[in-house]
Structures are given as C-alpha cells and as structure tokens.
Chain A
Amino acid sequence: MRNSRPTEEIAHGIRCRVFEHTMRNNGGYLSQACSAAEQLAFLYNEALNLGPSTMPMIPPPFTGVPSATHTGYRTGAGYNGPFDAVHDRLFIAPAHYALVAYACLIEVGRMAPEGLEMFNQDGSSVEMIGAEHSPGMEVHNGTLGIGLSTGAGLAWGRKRKGESGEVCVYMSDGEVQEGQTWEAVQAAAHHGIDNLWALMDVNRQQCDGAMDSVMTVGDIASKFRNFGAVVAEVDAHDLNALRQAKATPHEGQPLIILAHSSPVKGMEFLMKRFPRLHYVRFKSEEERAEMNIAIAAELGIVPVDLGKGH
C-alpha cells in the first residue's frame, strides 16, 4: 500500500510529531526522530510492500501477555498489514525508537493521532519501549541484538514455504556491539537467506553517549562484508540514495544498508546537548522554553503551547 504523500513530507511530519510530543511530555526520544525520520518514512511509504492495516486506528488497550489462556491475543504487527504470502514483514529492532515509529504510523495513515496520546500511559499498548503488542511491532526487540536473528529465521521459513514477501529488519548501529548480531549475519549468509534485508541507522550514538567513547566498533561495513552480507552505504537523509541502495542485488546473501545519519538532523539546536542525546529530558523550564522556540523555528512550525498537559 503506497501513501499518496511524498516521503519527504512524511519524514518532516515524523520530526514534528516527535518534537511536539517531547515538548509536551518534558522529554522523549528526540534524537532518534532526527536520525531515523527519512528511513522509517522510506520503509513505510516506499520500500516495503505492506497491505492495509488490519488494526483499529485508535490502538486497543493492553489486553494481557501471551499465555495458554489468553485466546485472541494479537501483536501490533497488524498495523503493518496482513500476514500473507506476498506482503513484506518488518521488525523494528531498536524498540526505543517506538515513539518515532508510532509517529510514522500516524503520518502514513495507519494510526490515529490520538494513538500517540496513549504513549507511555498505564494500561496502554502504545508502550514507551515497543512491545510485541504495540502498534507496528511483531516481536519483542527491547533487548538489542535479537531482531536480525528472528528476521533471519522468519525469512528462511518464508523462503521454504515459497512466499514472495520479504523480511526487513530496521536496526541501530549500537547493535553491532552485541555478539548475536554477528551470529545472525553469519547464519543468514551460510544459509543463503536473501529475502532478508536490514536498514541500519548509523547515528554513532548510544545510551551512554557517542559510540566511539563507549565501545569502538571499527569499520562495520567491512565487518558485515566479511561475515557474508552485501553492504550498501548511504546518507540516511538522502532518499534517492536509499532507493538506490535498496535496489542493490544480493542474490544468495542478506543485504544490509548502512544509513549514515545525523542525530540532530532537522534540529541542529540539539548539538548543545551532544553527546548525551539518547533520551532528551529538560534540565530546566528555561531550557525547555528555549528549545521549544529554537527547534520549532528549524522545523518551520509554531512553538508548542506548553500550557497544556504540563
């Protein structure tokens, strides 16, 4: 299902929604919107072959965890369309990107704006760290490093069953610090799982700060190639480059697109906080007000009315 709006516009909408939400709620995953807006917009609006959402526009409340007695349990994957042979499947491995992913679902018309108001509210399925029952999620990925392995298993299974739909894993570069990521690439290459591709947000940031200060990971493109993947490297904010990268032939091998991003793209004011960008929380009302005006100006929107919800 293709959205009629240009992908650039959707990316801009994602930044605006996450910005507004962060301002109103006195904190949020703002930097992830900066780095990932074009990538998620690209996935949902162009790259993935997704059917129409099978879930209500306003997300249902949390109904309970999976158990033998919980019949009718459903994951949030229905927001990405039906599970059938031809459509693609998406795993968002860095589950702390959930706020950005929800904003994207709204922008592409798969969730109502009211859904974002349920973010991180008790009893809501729109959880802060995306759970498998959260909109757009299909598996738990909050523990980093498990997404690509799960995607590889699903892709192998889909290939075995002759399904044409592909499996895409949206990843973050911090995940290359986890050994499991390398086990997953090695297995996907060994088994020729080429209906699997990953788009990785290479923003070089992690919870403690800049990745180089936390754990140096070296040249991840070379490492992925040596482990058996086909790798394309692009500017994460250049949609044409993303389109070309997706078209990279990778017969018999998984494709990994390294999307080099800026953690402050579209909100350069955030550089004042560098390198602590993982979760933006305001130190004072003055800082909040200052950021509200400065970033709104960068985004070309009016500042958020901080009188509400605070």
Chain B
Amino acid sequence: MEMVNRPYASAFEAYAVQHPEVLCLSADLTSSCEIDGFRDRHPDQFLSLGMAEQNMLSFAGGLGLAGFRPFLHSFGVFLYRRPYDQLIASIAYPRRRVRLMGFLPGVTTPGGMTHQAIEDISVMRSIPNMTVLEAGDATEVESIIAAADSVDGPVYCRILRGAVPRLFDSPLVIGKMRVLAGGSDVLIVTSGITTEEAIRARAALERAGVSVRHLHLNTLKPFDAAAILDHASAVSHGVITLENHLVTGGIGSMVAEALAEAGLARRLIRLGLQDTYAHGGSRPYLMRHYGMDALSLVRAVERLTGETTGIDETALEAVRVEAVHSALKAEAL
C-alpha cells in the first residue's frame, strides 16, 4: 500500500494557483491544515482570520458575495459547532460558494471531545443547500478540491491529512459511489477512514467464505438512495454501515432512511460511535475501543449471517497489505 505524505498541501496549491478567485482562509491552524507552504508562497491569495470562526464564516459569506470562492481551513469541528448561526445565515441560506475544508474528522484526532467532529455529517446534511463530501484516501483528498469547487453553493468536506493511504486510482466524482466488491451475502457501506478497515475485513471474510458487497461513499449529500437500494436488494443477509461518526444522523441513518422509505426489509447493523462522545487517544486505539475497526466489522457480519468465521486479530493483520492491493483490482471492475 502506497502512503502519500500531505496530499492536500500539494493538491490545493496546484489547484488554487490556477484559479485566482479561490482564496485560502485560515483560522490559526495553518500548518495543521497543511496550507503553511501555500501561505508562504502565495501570500496574496491567503487570508489569516485568526481564532475567530464566527467572523471567518460571515466574512467568507461577504467574499462570496464579491465573487470569490473562499476555501476555509480548520478542524472540521471548528467550522460548525461555534459558528453554526453564521454557517446558516451567511453561507448556507444564500448559497455562497464557500468551501469548508474540515480536517481531522471523527476520531482521527487524539484531541478528545473538543476536537472531534463526530456529529458533523448529521449536522451538515440536515442543512438545506449544503453539499457534503468525504475523502477516503489520498486520491480523493487530491481530487476533492476541484470537485468541491465545481459546486454552485456551499460544500463541507471531511479531509484527511498527513500520511494517507492511496486506495483508489480514479478521482472523486460527486454523486458517484465506488463499488469495491460485488458479493451477494452482506452489503457493507463505508466512507472516509472506515473504507480501509472494511477492505481489510473483506479479504479475510472472503477467505472464510462470506461473499461481501462493499460500497465506498464520498458524496454524503446528495445521497444516492436509489443505488443503495439496488445493492441492498442484491444481498441475502442484510446491510452493515461503518462510519467514523455517530451512527445517529450519519451514513447509518441515511441507509436506514432509504430502506424504510422504500419499504425494503433488510436487517441493518450500524457501526460507529453509539450515542457517545469519544475521548483522546490514538486512532487505532479509538477505533478498536468504540467498535469502528475491521474486527468489529467481522463480528457484525457474523451476527448478520449467524455463522462464525474464525477470523481473529492476527488473521486481519496478516491480510492487511494484500487486501489493500486487491482493492485496487476490485475497483477496476
């Protein structure tokens, strides 16, 4: 598996220099959001707005009114919790072309409750006029910039930083989910960092004789309910969602709504944070602790099929590298 270092930094710079109406805004987390190099090399296109997110969001609304397309960089949680009123009134309602780049989604930060955006998808998808995207690998981090900037309205993006695995070889296309496996026993729906977990689990599950259908979502709003229903209809045992987010309001809820509205009876297991805050810790620790990792997914598949697989932690570790390589092949299908 190829690891890409700081994919956002280089991709944003390459894109922004080609588009002078794009402005780079920061709220005192410039190096933390990988835009320090951009700031140093392109100071005219960079605006420092300090630790003042309420002003930054309304200010960005004003920039949008003037014809600019500001990219706001901060930790995801800081882009909606404190400045929620400004987000609605200054950005979402008037459909300003503001791009909210939310770093460190869910438990990808050890910063604990104050830093962890665990209800951002739930909040953002309930806002009229908002588009919600999530990057799941380095290719999607690189391509989410142009994709977001193509939207005539506001966009919230969950961005991965630092060393990010490359799972996909084609860019993120808004509204187009990735079908990573086409099996017939269980449907697994993931996005963001949970896709890599599911790829690991999938390889082990297939060896154990479970036929997995796996969807990777990068567009959370608009949500393609019709495609979800097609895939859910094609499996015999049911659906499992796995998300780096609360199960309430996120992908689990979206899938549940789609199934219920269509009257499609399928069992559904929603993995993710279960009506709880997380605490500070490493990403692998948190994913294990809160039941968001590959092993949790395997156990959920066992509950759904009623059969034990014999897969344990060692088995998952053993398939890791191979599984990710096979994902590339699967995606090419």
Contacts and interface: CB of A to CB of B under 8 A. Distances in A.
Nearest to B25: A153
Interface stretch (B44-52, B183-191, B259-267): B44-52
Given A132-B94, A157-B67, A139 B54 contact: no
B320 to A, nearest CB: 42
A67 B129 contact: yes
Interface in B49-63: 49-50, 52, 54-63
B165 interface: no
Given A67-B128, A186-B52, A187-B49, A146 B65 contact: no
A153 B17 CA distance: 21
Nearest to A142: B89
Contact of A180 (B47, B65, B86, B152): B86
A183 B83 CA distance: 12
Contact of A66 (B52, B57, B66, B95): B95
Interface in B84-134: 85-86, 89-90, 93-95, 128-129
A65 interface: yes
A161 B94 contact: no
Interface in A185-208: 186-187, 190-191
Contact of B52 (A138, A155, A156, A187): A187
Given A149-B59, A180-B58, A187-B59, A143 B85 contact: yes
Contacts of A151: 62
Contacts of B90: 139-140, 146, 149-150
A153 B62 contact: yes
Nearest to B83: A180
Contacts of A153: 58-66
A302 B52 CA distance: 52
A154 B58 contact: no
Nearest to A131: B93
A179 interface: yes
A158 interface: yes
A99 B61 CA distance: 25
A149 B93 contact: no
A66 B56 CA distance: 22
Nearest to B222: A68
A111 interface: no
Contact of A191 (B47, B56, B86, B129): B47
A152 B86 contact: no
A186 B52 CA distance: 9
Contact of A183 (B52, B66, B128, B153): B52
Given A152-B59, A191-B47, A157 B95 contact: no
Contacts of A187: 49-50, 52, 55-56, 59
Q: Which of A68, A149, A157, A161 has the most CB of B within 10 A?
A: A149
A242 interface: no
Contacts of B66: 153-154, 156-158, 160-161
Contacts of A145: 54
B65 A157 contact: yes
Interface string A117-141: 0000000000000001000001111
Contacts of B59: 149-150, 152-153, 156, 184, 187
B89 A68 contact: no
B15 interface: no
A146 B63 contact: no
B68 interface: yes
A66 B52 CA distance: 27
A155 B85 contact: no
Contacts of A150: 58-59, 61-62, 65, 90
A65 B58 contact: no
B221 to A, nearest CB: 12
Contact of B58 (A138, A149, A186): A149
Nearest to A65: B93
Nearest to B95: A66
A160 B49 CA distance: 16
B85 A146 contact: yes
29 contacts: A68-B153, A75-B94, A139-B89, A140-B89, A143-B85, A143-B89, A145-B54, A146-B58, A149-B55, A149-B90, A150-B59, A150-B61, A150-B65, A151-B62, A152-B59, A152-B62, A153-B61, A153-B62, A156-B63, A157-B66, A157-B68, A160-B68, A161-B67, A180-B86, A183-B50, A183-B54, A183-B55, A187-B56, A187-B59
Interface of A: 65-68, 75, 132, 138-143, 145-146, 149-158, 160-161, 179-180, 183-184, 186-187, 190-191
7 closest Cβ pairs, A-B complex = A153-B62, A157-B66, A149-B58, A183-B55, A183-B52, A153-B59, A154-B62
Given A139-B61, A149-B62, A187-B59, 7 more contacts: A132-B94, A138-B65, A152-B59, A153-B63, A154-B66, A157-B67, A161-B66
